[in-house]
């Protein structure tokens, strides 16, 4: 549990992995910092969505694929809890990725974590079961550029991931996250990640920051690096 920080989220050493990456991927030597909370790990974030106005998905085409590129097959944006299926329904094959997994996959100095992060991302992207949110894409760009990844490269990564399932952060999700924050004493930003994942019907939330094995309404937190 962490105290929320309006400037960001938790910090953790992040890095990339052997496997597919968006074209133009470069690895930074510095340990990534993902600012989310003031106390320990905190996750820096770019300006958040304007209340009441869902963030539009990037229309920029992803970089041309290369042999080492993570392949993304778009299934369209998932806007908050407004899905054709009942709200909160668990779709077993969908998995949500917290920001730290993306940062480990593209920047940092821990080869083993880089390898694991890229493998799990590639598997779910190829199966079209990976889910992100506008919050995650914003946080990734800020964290990656803070540890030295060129903004142009980080933007290419965001454009690529934006073609997958992306939850638009809405005022409804923000209010639901506040409820979760108050109920479970999660930081607000972690609560928003959880609510976004539940809105998309995910059964698993991949995160290094949250408690391994913790369950939220049937959705399990899984740390891919603890396997």
The per-residue pLDDT for range 181-211, each reduced to its tens digit, is 999 889 999 999 999 999 999 999 999 989 8
Q: What is the number of other CB atoms lying within 10 angstroms of the CB of residue 48?
A: 16
Hey, what are 201's tokens? 């019907």
Considering only residues 62 and 162, tell me which one the structure prediction assigns the higher pLDDT.
162
- Determine how many CB atoms are found less than 10 A away from the CB of residue 213: 10
* DSSP per-residue codes, 147-178: TT--HHHHHHHHHHHTTSEEEEP-HHHHHHHH
DSSP-derived secondary structure letter, 190: H
Angstrom distance (rounded) from CA 205 to CA 152: 28
Class of domain 78-226: alpha beta
Q: What is the pLDDT of residues 2-48, one digit of tens each?
A: 443 332 344 333 333 333 446 444 333 333 446 564 333 344 333 33
Radius of gyration of the chain (CA): 16
d(CA 35, CA 38): 8
Nearest alpha carbon to residue 208 among 128, 103, 131, 126? 103
pTM here is 0.67
C-alpha to C-alpha distance for 90 and 155, rounded to whole angstroms: 31
């Amino acid at each position: 549990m962490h105290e929320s920080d309006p400037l960001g989220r938790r910090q953790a050493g992040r890095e990339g992995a052997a496997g597919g990456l968006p074209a133009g991927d470069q690895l930074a030597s510095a340990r990534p910092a993902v600012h989310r909370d003031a106390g320990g790990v905190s996750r820096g974030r770019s300006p958040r969505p304007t209340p009441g106005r869902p963030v539009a998905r990037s229309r920029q085409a992803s970089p041309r694929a290369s042999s080492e590129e993570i392949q993304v097959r778009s299934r369209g944006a998932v806007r908050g809890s407004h899905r054709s299926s009942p709200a909160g329904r668990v779709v077993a094959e969908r998995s949500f990725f917290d920001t730290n997994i993306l940062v480990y996959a593209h920047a940092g100095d821990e080869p083993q974590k880089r390898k694991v992060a890229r493998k799990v991302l590639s598997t779910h992207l190829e199966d079209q079961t990976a889910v992100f949110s506008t919050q995650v894409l914003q946080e990734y760009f800020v964290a990656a550029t803070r540890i030295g990844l060129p903004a142009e490269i980080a933007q290419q990564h965001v454009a690529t991931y934006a073609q997958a399932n992306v939850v638009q952060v809405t005022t409804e999700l923000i209010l639901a996250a506040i409820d979760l924050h108050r109920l479970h004493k999660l930081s607000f930003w972690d609560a928003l990640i959880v609510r976004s994942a539940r809105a998309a019907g995910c059964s698993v939330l991949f995160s290094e920051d949250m408690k391994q094995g913790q369950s939220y309404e049937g959705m399990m937190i899984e740390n891919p690096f603890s396997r």
